[in-house]
């Protein structure tokens, strides 16, 4: 549904509303803040500007999904074959093909339509109602009815219904993460003067007198005037920019660009683009395009074969000759391929749905299998989207660090370590010593490091997780930490100078929080030690006397409390470090109390800088005793008199922590040859720190060549300031881009495409929408994701779990491997049939008409049933044990690698020649070459030998196709030892029983041959063959020869190294026995060799992860490839 009538009309202003004063805006809109719009004015404006909706909120259209299924290359080819069958009055064959088409279309339509309907259930309007002032009365109306000029009232918890210019605010803060990617709320200031600012220089997140549609109010209250609605809001602009992101630009028809011939040339190229898109030759995933081309190539070959059939029969086109021609053409086309492919995709989608991944398009999982790069937003995707107190520096005591906080709201999750305070000089000295040791270990050009056996898993984890200072204690439960007086004072201040609440909901059995995210983080930290505000006020009797709320101008807040023990008064203050420090006279308490001098102040600021360098937002916490006049809620003591003479209790470092599973997911992606790029709106220091913590970039960047290190972390301004040519010359594309804008993300994806990469984009915010659609695979978050992000995506993670991406990629790779298997299986049988039928043209009866060695219905039976069910079984093969330890497959080659093509030809020729020999032996052996007449029409005694020969060929071809399915389970490995890890001396039966569907498909298919040959009437009328006796020996012998031939071909490939051996067929000896590579985060690098540009898909990378216990598959210590 669009935005309604008049949706293209946009409210115009002399300047952008954030640059106008409130008086100018009131005058321009003709609005009265005390009365609001009248009902008639609101109706007129809604008619003029349309409803406050985004395009695409109307749901899925069934006919568009159905049309997409019909406009499929293989379906179009089958439609032509169906028409030809009916044209020659072969209604049985035409009916079978019709059933195949209907089955393919219905399966694809049902699955994709159901996925889209489920997406409709996930979609919801961001703001269902809005509180507006109309006719002087405050009322709640549907947000779709909000119009420019409405006065909107907002408060904590509200979702903002449209873009508004704020004119009144009381401690108002808004969470604009969905729009900007920033984790922290934005404090609003309606009085901020932007008169001299420009629209380009002042980003959306910096316009503090504006509030935007779909953002939420986290604190305070306010009022504003609606300035933009619907598609003209900031969220609407992003949605608009995505419409056509994936469309190919129209060919130019301007004479200025191409001369006088350009209009005609441009028109021809536009027609070519349209036809190519309709036929599926220029759009879709690599597999879709390859299969479309294959369908038309096979169709062309089918026509060529039909012409050959007509030529051999002297172009005397009788119905029998036409049927033979159609049969030869049909033998060239794998009728069951689309059905098998569709059902395989449906099975994969069902499997992923159980793992909380909703696939919106059947092709998405196949595309995931070839992903080489993932471009991910940070906030809410790699991180939890919630703030956590990561570190607390207590003067004279040390640094308390929170580790393994699985849930930011849960104070019972995580452990505490206590580290020693260190100056920057001490840390630099330690870093230099480690670097010198590293250089010494690099002697000889290799990087090797043997880890002591006694090194525990916890030590390894800490080596990766910890920031630069070392811990002096083991991980401890917060309840076991000794709360020294200095820590006790710090916790009292963070808990009491705080408006957030933390409580356990018994009914939902989870921790819940309310309030500002920063204050929630501090409250949870205090609660870890059982010193939260609830405990202090409720159990210990602390009583608040008054509050001095946070003020953005002074950047601090204070509370005054009465001490329960002696009735004295204490003031607690927290805020920006510089502002608090200026008010402090001492630092520390008790034995560690020290007067603040310039030197001490410098040391404190250095400690703040060290925390900030780790990507933490740093706050100062202080207190003082009050000995002045009594204080209560009615006291009018200026805050300047209260907030002075303070004692600094410590610094708190807060950040948005990574999701617990993110590190493992990133490590597994890197081990699979997939680069993870972080594209975030956060500060560069914060972005780099998170990237190091989850393993996207090395912890110690000094171990890299300088040009590589400089390229890995960029700001959006730096990246956007480069031309495309300069970006293409970078040794590595950035793995981290901070202060990222939507345009930066789409430029990054374009740069990846220019390097031949296949990119996925993950995200949940509106700002991720354009890049989700520009990427080859868009991955949205289902719970926290915006409607725009979900609508732009190809798959949706219904649990917002980043690790689910690894499951989806693994499923995509498994499906790709299985698609290769069943495509090889189906096309091998097609090649065998074509060889048999083309060579069979030489078998002519007394009237010189060709006699087919296999009837048309036999061909359809074999193509649809005999080949189809084993192909389904191959599509259900489980993933190989090390499928995520190899590089992505080459998307340019796709399924049809040279190995698959040669296998198809070799196996098909062998199959065709064996069946041809069987036919020849029977006809020209005991049959003495007597073929008879009209054997293509019906049975007669003269055709007895031909019908017996057809029966033997039918049985033989059936068994060869079925046994080839078991052989193709391992493209290179012997059927008798498919799993190289098996310790069994003869694992054949265990291997074939593992895939039970395939086992029963082969078994039942082999047995069904007998009734097809022996049922009277059915055999001679439908299949045009009859029962046989001694001829059974020929198919049995042929099966043994065929298996021997396939085994010898595989042996030759393994022995002579023909084609690239899939990584799954090799045993990674280094995984079990090799030394560990030197770890830099998760990475192994050579500092002496500058890295080359990113390799093409499937070629590995020098910038490669090193997982626990082994190097990446196929890579030596310095990125050198090995065959293990």
The set of catalytic residues is 377
The residue to which tokens 């069943």 are assigned: 822
What is the distance between the alpha carbons of residues 699 and 688, in angstroms, rounded to a whole number?
9
Can you give the three-state secondary structure of 324-392, one letter per residue? HHHHHHHHHCCCCHHHHHHHHHHHHHHHHHHCCEEECCCCHHHHHCCCCEEEECHHHHHECCCCEEEEE
Which regions of 77-206 does DSSP assign to beta strands (E)?
A: 129-134, 137-142, 151-155, 163-175, 186-187
∠ CA 1099-1102-1107, nearest 5°, is 100
What is the distance between the alpha carbons of residues 575 and 622, in angstroms, rounded to a whole number?
9
Closest to 663 in 3D by CA, of 392, 510, 462:
462
Contact 574, 494 (CB under 8 A): yes
What is the distance between the alpha carbons of residues 298 and 61, in angstroms, rounded to a whole number?
33
CB atoms under 10 Å from CB of 68, counted, come to 14
CB atoms under 10 Å from CB of 418, counted, come to 20
Closest to 853 in 3D by CA, of 839, 870, 832:
839
What is the distance between the alpha carbons of residues 379 and 965, in angstroms, rounded to a whole number?
47
How do 357-359 and 795-797 pair as beta strands? antiparallel
Q: Which long-range contacts (CB under 8 A, 24 or more apart) does 932-936 make?
A: 932/845, 932/846, 933/845, 933/846, 933/847, 934/320, 934/845, 935/845, 935/851, 935/1024, 936/320, 936/323, 936/324, 936/849, 936/851, 936/852, 936/855, 936/1024
CB atoms under 10 Å from CB of 848, counted, come to 10
Q: Up-side HSE of residue 822: CA atoms within 13 Å toward CB?
A: 31
CB atoms under 10 Å from CB of 183, counted, come to 24
CA dihedral 1055, 1058, 1060, 1062 (to 10 degrees): -50
Radius of gyration of the chain (CA): 36
Separation of CA 551 from chain center: 41
Give the H or E element holding residue 963. Answer: helix 944-968
* Residues 239-264: b if buried by 16+ CB within 10 A, e if exposed: bebbeebeeeeebeeeeeeeeeebee
How do 759-763 and 373-376 pair as beta strands? parallel
Q: Is 198 exposed, middle or buried (0-12, 13-18, 19+ CB in 10 A)?
A: exposed
Contact 549, 557 (CB under 8 A): yes
Closest to 1119 in 3D by CA, of 1086, 1097, 1073:
1086
CB atoms under 10 Å from CB of 191, counted, come to 11
* Residues 540-576: b if buried by 16+ CB within 10 A, e if exposed: eebeebbebebeeebebbbbbbbeeeeeebbbbbbbb
Give the H or E element holding residue 432. Answer: helix 424-441
Helices (H), 224-336: 234-242, 255-258, 262-278, 286-312, 319-332
């Amino acid at each position: 549904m669009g935005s309604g009538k008049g949706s293209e009309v946009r409210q115009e202003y002399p300047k952008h509303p954030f640059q106008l004063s409130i008086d100018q805006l009131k005058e321009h809109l003709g609005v009265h803040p005390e009365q609001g719009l009248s009902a008639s004015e609101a109706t007129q404006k809604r008619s003029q500007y349309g409803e406050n909706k985004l395009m695409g909120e109307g749901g899925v259209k069934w006919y568009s999904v159905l049309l997409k299924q019909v406009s499929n290359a293989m379906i179009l080819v089958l439609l032509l074959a169906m028409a030809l069958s009916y044209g020659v009055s072969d209604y049985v064959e035409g009916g079978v093909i019709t059933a195949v088409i209907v089955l393919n279309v219905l399966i694809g339509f049902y699955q994709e339509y159901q996925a889209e309907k489920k997406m409709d259930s996930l979609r919801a309007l961001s703001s269902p109602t809005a509180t507006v002032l109309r006719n002087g009365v405050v009322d709640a109306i549907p947000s779709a009815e909000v119009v420019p000029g409405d006065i909107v009232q907002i408060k904590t918890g509200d979702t903002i219904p449209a873009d508004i210019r704020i004119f009144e605010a009381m401690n108002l803060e808004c969470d604009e993460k969905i729009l900007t990617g920033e984790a922290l709320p934005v404090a609003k200031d309606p009085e901020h003067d932007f008169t001299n600012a420009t629209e380009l220089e002042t980003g959306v997140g910096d316009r503090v007198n504006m509030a935007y549609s779909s953002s939420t109010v986290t604190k305070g209250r306010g009022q504003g005037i609606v300035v933009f609605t619907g598609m003209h809001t900031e969220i609407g602009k992003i949605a608009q920019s995505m419409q056509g992101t994936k469309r190919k630009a129209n060919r130019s028809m301007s004479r200025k660009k191409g001369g006088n011939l350009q209009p005609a040339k441009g028109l021809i190229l536009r027609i070519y683009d349209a036809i190519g898109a309709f036929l599926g030759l220029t759009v879709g995933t690599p597999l879709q395009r390859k299969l479309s081309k294959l369908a038309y190539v096979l169709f062309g070959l089918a026509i060529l074969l039909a012409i050959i059939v007509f030529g051999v029969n002297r172009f005397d086109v009788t119905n029998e000759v036409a049927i033979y021609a159609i049969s030869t053409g049909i033998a060239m086309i794998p009728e069951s391929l689309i059905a098998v492919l569709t059902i395989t995709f449906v099975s994969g989608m069902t499997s992923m749905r159980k793992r909380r991944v909703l696939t919106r398009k059947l092709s998405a999982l196949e595309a995931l299998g070839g992903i080489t790069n993932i471009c991910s937003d940070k906030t809410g995707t790699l991180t939890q989207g919630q703030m956590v107190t990561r570190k607390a520096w207590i003067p004279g005591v040390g640094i308390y660090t929170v580790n393994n906080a699985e849930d930011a709201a849960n104070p019972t999750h995580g452990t505490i370590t206590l580290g020693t305070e260190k100056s920057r000089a001490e840390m630099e000295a330690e870093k230099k010593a480690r670097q010198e040791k590293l250089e010494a270990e690099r002697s000889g050009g290799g990087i090797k490091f043997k880890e002591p056996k006694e090194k525990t898993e916890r030590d390894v984890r800490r080596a990766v997780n910890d920031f630069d200072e070392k811990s002096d204690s083991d991980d401890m439960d917060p309840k076991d930490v000794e709360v020294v007086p200095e820590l006790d004072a710090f916790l009292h201040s963070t808990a009491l100078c705080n408006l957030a609440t933390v409580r356990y909901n018994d009914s939902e059995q989870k921790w819940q929080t309310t309030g500002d995210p920063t204050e929630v983080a501090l409250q949870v930290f205090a609660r870890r030690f059982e010193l939260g505000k609830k405990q202090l006020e409720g159990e210990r009797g602390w009583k608040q006397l008054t509050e001095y709320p946070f003020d953005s101008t002074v950047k601090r807040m204070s509370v005054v409390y009465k001490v329960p023990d002696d009735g004295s008064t204490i003031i607690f203050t927290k805020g920006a470090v510089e502002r608090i420090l200026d008010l402090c006279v001492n630092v520390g308490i008790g034995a560690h109390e020290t007067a603040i001098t310039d030197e001490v102040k410098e040391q404190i600021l250095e400690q703040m800088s060290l925390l900030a360098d780790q990507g933490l937002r740093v706050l100062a916490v202080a207190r003082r005793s009050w000995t002045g006049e009594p204080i209560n809620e009615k006291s009018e003591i200026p805050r300047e008199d209260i907030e002075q003479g303070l004692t600094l209790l410590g610094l708190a470092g807060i950040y948005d922590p990574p999701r617990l599973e993110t590190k493992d997911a990133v490590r597994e992606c890197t081990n699979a040859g997939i680069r993870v790029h972080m594209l975030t709106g956060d500060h560069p220091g914060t972005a780099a720190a998170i990237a190091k913590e989850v393993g996207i970039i090395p912890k110690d960047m000094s171990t890299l060549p300088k040009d590589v290190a400089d390229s890995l972390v960029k700001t959006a301004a730096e990246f956007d300031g480069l031309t495309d040519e300069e970006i293409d010359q970078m040794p590595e594309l950035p793995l981290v881009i901070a202060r990222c804008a939507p345009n930066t993300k789409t430029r990054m994806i374009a740069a990846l495409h220019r390097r031949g990469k296949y990119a996925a984009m993950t995200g949940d915010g509106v700002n991720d929408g354009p890049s989700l659609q520009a990427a080859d695979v868009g991955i949205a978050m289902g719970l926290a994701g915006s409607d725009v992000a979900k609508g732009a995506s190809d798959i949706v993670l219904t649990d917002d779990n980043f690790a689910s991406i690894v499951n989806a990629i693994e499923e995509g790779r498994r499906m790709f491997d299985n698609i290769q298997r069943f495509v090889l299986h189906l096309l091998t049988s097609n090649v065998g049939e074509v060889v048999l039928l083309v060579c069979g043209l030489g078998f002519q009866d007394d009237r010189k008409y060709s006699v087919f060695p296999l009837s048309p219905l036999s061909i359809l039976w074999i193509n649809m049933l005999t080949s189809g069910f084993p192909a389904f079984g191959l599509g259900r093969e489980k993933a190989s044990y090390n499928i995520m330890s190899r590089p992505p497959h080459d998307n340019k080659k796709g399924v049809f690698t040279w190995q698959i093509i040669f296998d198809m030809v070799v196996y098909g020729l062998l199959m065709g020649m064996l069946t041809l020999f069987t036919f020849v032996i029977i006809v020209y052996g005991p049959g003495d070459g007597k073929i008879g007449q009209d054997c293509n029409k019906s049975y007669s005694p003269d055709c007895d030998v031909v019908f017996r020969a057809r029966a033997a060929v039918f049985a033989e071809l059936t068994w060869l196709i079925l046994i080839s399915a078991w052989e193709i389970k391992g493209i290179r490995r012997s059927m008798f030892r498919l799993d190289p890890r098996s310790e069994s001396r003869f694992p054949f039966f265990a291997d074939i029983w593992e895939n039970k569907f395939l086992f029963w498909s082969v078994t039942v298919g082999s047995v069904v041959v007998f009734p097809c040959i022996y049922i009277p009437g059915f055999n001679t009328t439908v299949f045009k063959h009859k029962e046989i006796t001694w001829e059974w020996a020929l198919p049995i012998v042929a099966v043994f020869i065929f298996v021997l031939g396939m085994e010898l071909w595989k042996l030759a490939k393994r022995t002579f190294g023909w084609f690239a051996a899939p990584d799954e067929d090799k045993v990674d000896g280094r995984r079990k026995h090799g030394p560990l590579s030197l770890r830099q985060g998760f990475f192994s690098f050579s500092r002496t060799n500058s890295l080359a540009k990113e390799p093409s898909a499937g070629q590995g990378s020098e910038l490669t992860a090193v997982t626990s216990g082994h190097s990446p598959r196929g890579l030596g210590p310095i990125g050198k490839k090995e065959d293990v």
